[in-house]
């Protein structure tokens, strides 16, 4: 089984654009509030499932001092995802054809999932479910990477041993946490091509 992070792996993550968009909504400390890997504060509460998307809209509206809409927040969140490389989608299909079970393992939220899990995802009428077999996301698991509980939840649900799993993520702390549990790991670099390394590992390693 192969676990894939979302931002920085499947799509190229652009934190600066997300900061710019939230800043345009009136969030003065957007640079401090937004992370590339694990959110904190109001943003972390959303991604850990402690508050709903509607509660996030209400609390962010209070924070910036004006009424924001759900779509305002969605557009700002989608600043993180400005590019979806076709090569990444192609390799997901190739790995599936090779017989691997492919699973999403992401810190994310309902705003991002409204794009990812929709027919708008790849620009060809397909959602991410056309490429992956299962989706495990932080706000539904109620745990954030790099918490061990995030990975343990997936291992338990999938009824699989850690040594039989490969995990690809662009966050060093996330990769370290998975590795400490015995999961095979690949540290991707946001915006760079990780596909050849993963294909090589999948043909050379028995996991």
Domains, the chain, with CATH or none: 2-12+82-203 (3.40.50.1000), 14-79 (1.10.150.240)
Q: Does residue 4 register a pLDDT over 70?
A: yes
* pLDDT number for residue 36: 72
Asked if pLDDT for residue 20 goes beyond 80, the answer is yes
Q: Which residues are catalytic?
A: 5
Encode pLDDT of 95-125 as tens digits: 999 999 999 999 999 999 999 999 999 999 9
Q: Tokens representing 3?
A: 């676990």
Say how many C-beta atoms besides its own lie within 10 A of residue 90's C-beta.
12
Mean pLDDT of 133-146: 97
- The beta strand positions in 91-200, using DSSP E, are 102-106, 134-137, 166-169, 184-187
Express each pLDDT in 169-183 by its tens digit: 999 999 999 999 999
- Considering the entire predicted model, what is its pTM? 0.93
Q: How far apart, in whole angstroms, are the C-alpha atoms of residue 157 and residue 142?
A: 14
Q: Give the C-alpha separation, 66 to 55, whole Å.
A: 15
pLDDT of res. 207: 67
């Amino acid at each position: 089984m192969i676990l894939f992070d979302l931002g920085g792996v499947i799509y190229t993550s652009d934190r600066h654009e997300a900061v710019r968009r939230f800043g345009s909504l009136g969030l003065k400390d957007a640079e401090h509030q937004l992370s590339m890997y694990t959110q904190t504060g109001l943003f972390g509460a959303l991604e850990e499932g402690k508050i709903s998307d509607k509660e996030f809209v209400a609390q962010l509206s209070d924070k910036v001092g004006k009424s924001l809409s759900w779509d305002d927040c969605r557009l700002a969140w989608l600043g993180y995802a400005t590019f979806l490389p076709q090569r990444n989608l192609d390799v997901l299909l190739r790995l599936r054809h090779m017989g691997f079970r492919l699973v999403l393992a992401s810190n994310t939220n309902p705003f991002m999932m409204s794009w990812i899990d929709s027919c708008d995802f790849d620009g060809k009428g397909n959602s991410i479910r056309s490429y992956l077999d299962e989706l495990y996301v932080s706000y539904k698991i109620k745990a954030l990477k790099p918490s061990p509980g995030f990975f343990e939840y997936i291992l338990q649900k999938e009824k699989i041993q850690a040594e039989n799993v490969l995990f690809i993520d662009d966050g060093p702390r996330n990769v370290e946490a998975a590795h400490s549990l015995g999961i095979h790991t690949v540290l991707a670099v946001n915006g760079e091509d990780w596909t050849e390394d993963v294909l090589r590992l999948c043909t050379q390693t028995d996991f």
